[in-house]
Structure 1
Amino acid sequence: MEVKEMALPSINPFASDYIKSKMNIRDFFHYDLAEVNVYNRRIQELKEKRFQREELSNTIAQYMNRFGMSEAVRDHIEALKDPDSTVVIGGQQAGLLSGPLYTIHKIISIIKLAEKQSVELGKKVIPVFWIAGEDHDLQEVNHVFALKGDHYEKITYPYHQKTKTMVSDTPLIETEASAWIQEIFRSFGETAYTKDLIVSLKQKISSSFSLTDFFVSIINDWFKEYGLLLVDAADPRLRKLESSYFEAMIEHHSEITSAVLEQQSFLSIQGYKKTIEMEANSANLFYYDKEVKNRILLHFNKDSSVFSDKAHKLEFSYKELLEMAKIHPERLSNNVVTRPLMQEMLFPVLAFIAGPGEISYWAELKKAFELFDMKMPPIVARLNMTFVERQIEKELHELDLDLYEVLTKGTEEAEKRFLISEKDESLELLFYQMKGQLNNHHKMFSQAALVHDRGLEPLLKKNADFINEQLDFIYGKIIDSMRQKHRHILDSFKNVANHLYPEASLQERIVNIYYYLNKYGDTFIDDLMKLELEFNNQHKIIYI
């Protein structure tokens, strides 16, 4: 593997301005990465905070134990108890087969930054991946895009979700999941690695109770030797540690909402759009009905002083909700506003690894953090990568394609330029001359005919349209013949787009890592981890 770098524009204006320091960072965040010794300052401030280190360490150990712990994982679990240790953390939903590539990019970012800061600070910095198992949006995680023919298709795990069930409560049914995996690998094509990969995945399916279990089994296998700690936000044992934090969020729910709305207003004044959609009466917590497996967003009714769903079919008083936080915290979960707060209450976070969207919505939470006398950690943009296979590199060269243009616009414009260059201009000129002359003669003929009979007008118009359709049809056939003549080249344009800019999007948002594992073997991730990847906000072009 070889790494080159390229500056690509971000589709998220706020994240782009943050990365390029085109704003007053302190208006939105508590730390500016451009400042000298920012991590040393963060460590000193973390020392003033108290964390449930022993309990957190034991909880993670209990959770990870059944997935198999490496020595590196055990070492990091034990190191978490040390008051001098910190973590680099980031998170994502539990996507099937690990989800799109950006999940892998984020995990690599977490591990790489933790390793880098461990060396530079001379202290233990632990990589932690926070799995959003409490999330109920199954449509976000239940599929993989696979290339079929000349386009990508969404291959969806066939499970019907009747209620807003947490992903960590969504069952993985062995027969359906196994058939689903077979379909995906058929789209990849059989290689020397296919059989072993499928066998390994089927073993994981048979030992997984939920979609989250399946995700953790995969990720743990790939990254346990790097000491990655995995945390499921839906783990009931973790919920017990969060009990008092839920209480604080309930007690200050209205202040949290007001703080976010105030910061959003400030963002708007600065010319940025808000990311978080919320209502003025939002409680920013979910209630989870374990019996029917339904996750319900709570709102607060000032008139009746109760927390309820929108339809008011479910209601809790302040006292009842606080009691729930104490005795049954597993029935509560965070939304997009309170999840970052909970993360900071639980972990001594040295840095948070964020995608572009996360950078935007964290900027709306500054005042909410301050409500709890907390500072946001340094926000570090995750590494962005595009894999370029040798065959694709060859096609780029043969087609004289600019990689920057492909990664920002795709290949459509380049393909149009090619077709224009191959067009027979004399034939095209003759076609438009003939069409113009025929239309003129038909118009004169029609005018003469209408003198004799005005009732012929609809028929004459229909006849003119028919003639034009036939002319366009035959010219279209000529164009099709030209395209067929250059089919091999046009297929190359499409192939490049499918691998580098699929569905008019960056590769990381569509392609799954198993495409590469199936082609290059299960050492692919270890080979990635050996690369020197700098946090310099440059897009990594990785030639494989």
Structure 2
Amino acid sequence: MKLENIQIPAINLFASSYLKQEKPVVDFFHYRLSDPYVFEKRLRELENRTFLRYELASCLEKYMEDFLHIPAVQRSIHKLKLPHSAVVLGGQQAGLMTGPLYTIHKIISVIRFAGLQEEKLGVPIVPVFWIAGEDHDFLEVNHLYVQKGTKMEKFSYTESVLGKKMVSDICFNKALMQKWVEEIIRQFGETEHTNGLLDLLREAIECSETITDFFRYLIARLFCHYGLLLIDSAFEPLRKLETPYFRNMILENKSITEKVLEQQSIIRQAGFSNMIELSEEAANLFLYECGERILLEYNKEKERFTGKNGEIELEIEHLLDRLKTAPQCFSNNVVTRPIMQEQLFPTLAFIAGPGEIAYWAELKQAFEFLDMKVPPILPRLNITLLERSVARDLEVLGIDVKTAIESGISSEKNQYWDTVRDDTFHDLIETTKEDLMKHYEKIKDRAHKMNLGPLSLIEKNLEFHFRQLDYLKKKTDQNLMVKHQAILQKYDRIENSLHPNGGPQERVWNLFYFMNQYGVSFIHDLMELPFTFDGTHQLVKI
């Protein structure tokens, strides 16, 4: 593998401005990445705060008990207990078979940046990945994309899920999951690595009960040897640890919402759209009732908490009593999840995707109200994997890899097709249609004068001839495509690999495709690359 740094602008305008550390965007945060001493300053700020380090480390230790035999995991647990240690934190939903590549890019970012900062700062820095198991949108994580013909097609796991269950509560049928996984791998194609991957996936399925378990097992097997610690936001012992923070969020819900709304107004005035949808009644917490997450609102007139759709109604005392007896029934939303993470972990840096950067900016005043600072937000690595066969296609067609990654090559393919398509034949077809139309108008006019009755038969006859001419044009184009198939397939391979479905590779492709091609050692090879956190796009040539 070889690594090349290239300049590709972020799709998100806000994230692009943040990467450049431009005003006014940098003013929406407490720390500036352009400050060479930003992480030293952050460490000093963390030293003035108190964290339940031992309790938190014990909680993660319990969650990872079946991976404690790995020395790197043991070391990370030990580091977390030390008084001056810090963490590099990132998180994502629990996608099937690890989900899209951007999840892997985020994990690599967390591990690599923790290692770099530990070496630079001389203090223990622990990589931690937060699994958003409390999320309930199963449709966001229940599928992968596979290449079929000239397109990338969604391949969904079909077992139905009723209600708004947390992903961590969604159990799966092991036989059905095994069948689905085997079909995915079959679509990737059989290689010398296929049987080993199938063994790993079978093992993960057998050792798991829920969708989050499945995700957790695979990530742990692939990355825990690098010291990565995992925690599920829906893990019950973690919920107990979060109880005092939930209590404060309930008591201060109105102020938290007001502060976020104020910050959103400032961001809008600067010309940016808000990422978080928030009403004045938002309580920013979910309550888990009868297997469904209910978003809470605060009714000022009644001075009660209610379900957004009227499902429940509770006085604040009853909600606090519920928290004491059943903290596992409470969960965070997009506003309170970052706040909860920050209260639990001594976070040196949070690794964020482009959309996350924008919503963290909307939380600045809420953090200040709770006497905290938004941690340094570090954009995750943007990585594109370039296979050798695709690189050859780019060279043959004379296409720049930056162009292919940034905007795709559909226009280049269309230009090529325009050069080989027989426009004269198409023009002849259209001229024939026009001539037919003229003659049929004369036929209809004559038939009308002769009182031959309804003219629908004549119109249907004309439609028949038009269909036949369109069919002739289509078949001619198909024959031309077959003639030029080798070149057209190169365009399709490049597009599917580097700009699939009109977007970045990382949103569509899955890690297991690459491991099926290159083996499990593919992870190790990636981790050995000298990635840089300088805002450039990281092109990995395989």
Query: Could you say which TM-score interval applies, normalised by the shorter chain?
Result: over 0.9
- How far apart, in 2, do the equivalents of 1:371 and 1:261 lie? 13
User: Which deviates more, 250-259 or 151-160?
Assistant: 151-160
Judge conservation of contact 2:128–2:230 (CA < 8 Å) in 1. Answer: yes
Shift of 1:29: 0.8
Q: 1:49: which partner in 2?
A: 49
Give the aligned residue type for 2:138.
Answer: L
* CA distance in structure 2 between the aligned counterparts of 1:159 and 1:460, rounded to whole angstroms: 52
Distance 1:44 1:190, change over 3 A: same
Write out aligned runs for 1:481-492 (5 A): 481-492=479-490
SS in 2 for 1:297: strand
Secondary structure at the aligned position of 2:67 is classed as coil
Does the alignment pair 1:103 with 2:103? yes
Change (3 A) 1:171 1:425: closer
How far apart are the structure 1 equivalents of 2:43 and 2:355?
26
Runs of 4+ that moved beyond 4 A? 425-469
Q: Give 3-state SS (helix, strand or coil) of 1:123's partner.
A: coil
Distance 1:172-1:443 versus aligned 2 partners, 3 A rule: closer
- Classify the secondary structure of the residue corresponding to 1:129: strand
CA-to-aligned-CA distance 1:109-138 (integer Å, 9 cap, x gap): 011111111111111111110111111111
Contact 1:136-1:295 at 8 Å conserved across structures: yes
Cα distance per residue 1:23-68 (max 9 Å; x no partner):
3244311111012201111111111111111111111111111234
- Counterpart residue identity of residue 418, structure 1: Y
| 1:299-318 deviation line (CA, Å, top 9, x unaligned) | 11122211121343322211
Distance 1:68 1:420, change over 3 A: same
In structure 2, the partner of 1:156 is: 156
Q: How far did 1:433 drift?
A: 5.1
| Residue in structure 1 matched with residue 129 of structure 2 by the alignment | 129
Distance 1:309 1:465, change over 3 A: same
Deviation (angstroms), 1:477: 2.7
2:55 partner amino acid: E
Paired residues in the alignment total 542
Alignment of 1:463-502 (within 5 A): 466-502=464-500
Q: Summarize deviations over 1:467-495 as a string: whole Å, max 9, x none.
A: 54444433333222212211222222222
Deviation at 1:525, TM superposition (A): 0.3
> Cα offset for 1:389?
0.9
Contact in 1 for aligned 2:18/2:26 (Cα 8 Å): no
Counterparts of 2:336 and 2:235, CA distance in 1: 17
Structure 2 residue 351 is matched with structure 1 residue 353: yes
Tell me the equivalent position of 2:385.
Answer: 387
Alignment map for 1:398-417 (pairs within 5 Å) = 398-417=396-415
Q: Rate the CA distance shift 1:287–1:117 in 2: closer, same or farther, 3 A.
A: same
Partner residue, 2:20: 20
Within 2, Cα distance between the matches of 1:455 and 1:32? Answer: 82
SS in 1 for 2:129: strand
Q: What is the CA deviation profile of residues 173-212 of structure 1, one whole-angstrom value per residue up to 9, with x for unaligned ones? A: 2212211111111111111111121112212211212211
Conservation of the 8 A alpha-carbon contact between 1:143 and 1:154: yes
Deviation for aligned residue 1:409: 2.9
**Equivalence map 1:112-261=2 (5 Å):** 112-261=112-261
User: Cα gap change, 1:173/1:473 in structure 2, threshold over 3 Å: closer, same or farther?
Assistant: closer
1:521-532 matches, cutoff 5 A? 521-532=519-530
Report if aligned partners of 1:281, 1:299 keep a CA contact under 8 Å in 2.
Answer: yes
Q: Using a 3 Å threshold, how does the CA distance of structure 1 residues 155 and 67 change in structure 2: closer, same or farther?
A: farther
Partners of 2:294 and 2:311 within 8 A in 1: no
Which residue identity lines up with residue 518 of structure 1 in the other structure?
Answer: N
Q: Which amino acid aligns with 1:30?
A: H
Contact kept, 8 Å, 2:263 with 2:365, in 1: the verdict is yes
Q: Deviations over 1:199-255 (max 9, x none)?
A: 122122112122111111111111112111111111111112111111110111011
Given the two structures, how large is their TM-score scaled by the length of structure 1? 0.94
Gaps of 5+ in 1: none
- 150-159 vs 106-115, which moves further: 150-159
Deviation at 1:462, TM superposition (A): 5.6
Q: Distance in 1 between matches of 2:434 and 2:93?
A: 59
Q: Deviations over 1:339-372 (max 9, x none)?
A: 0000000011110000011011111111111110
* Contact kept? 2:281, 2:298, Cα under 8 Å: yes
On the 8 A contact 1:244/1:325 being kept in 2, the answer is no
1:376 aligns to what SS in structure 2? coil
User: Alpha-carbon deviation of 1:73?
Assistant: 1.5
CA distance in 2, matches of 1:19, 1:258: 28
Q: What CA distance in whole angstroms lies between the structure 1 residues aligned with 2:311 and 2:481?
A: 61
Alignment partner, residue 273 of structure 1 = 273
| Residue in 2 that maps onto 1:75 | 75
Q: Deviations over 1:492-513 (max 9, x none)?
A: 2222222222222211111110
CA distance in 2, matches of 1:300, 1:183: 47
Which residue of 2 is the match for residue 504 of structure 1? 502
Match of 2:330 in 1: 332
SS of 1:540's equivalent in the other structure is strand
Give the secondary structure class of the aligned counterpart of 2:496. Answer: helix
Q: Is 1:305 aligned to 2:303, yes or no? A: yes
State the partner residue of 2:59: 59
1:458–1:529 distance in 2 versus 1, CA, 3 Å: same
Instruction: Please report how far the alpha carbon of residue 458 of structure 1 lies from its aligned counterpart in structure 2 after TM superposition.
Output: 6.3
Letter in 2 for 1:488: A
Structure 1 residues 392 and 331: CA distance shift in structure 2, 3 A: same
SS of aligned partner of 1:80: helix
Residues 300 and 483 (structure 1 numbering): CA distance in 2 closer, same or farther, change over 3 Å? same
> Structure 2 length normalisation: TM-score?
0.94
- Residues of 2 paired with 1:69 and 1:257: CA distance? 44
Superposition deviation, residue 436 in structure 1: 5.0
User: 1:9, 1:233 → 2: CA distance?
Assistant: 33
Output the CA distance in 2 between the equivalents of 1:451 and 1:294.
72
Question: Identity over the aligned pairs, expressed in percent?
Answer: 43
Note the C-alpha offset of 1:518.
1.1
* Greater mean deviation of Cα atoms: 523-532 or 229-238: 229-238
Which secondary structure does the structure 1 equivalent of 2:83 belong to?
Answer: coil
| Cα pair distance change 1:313/1:420, threshold 3 Å | closer
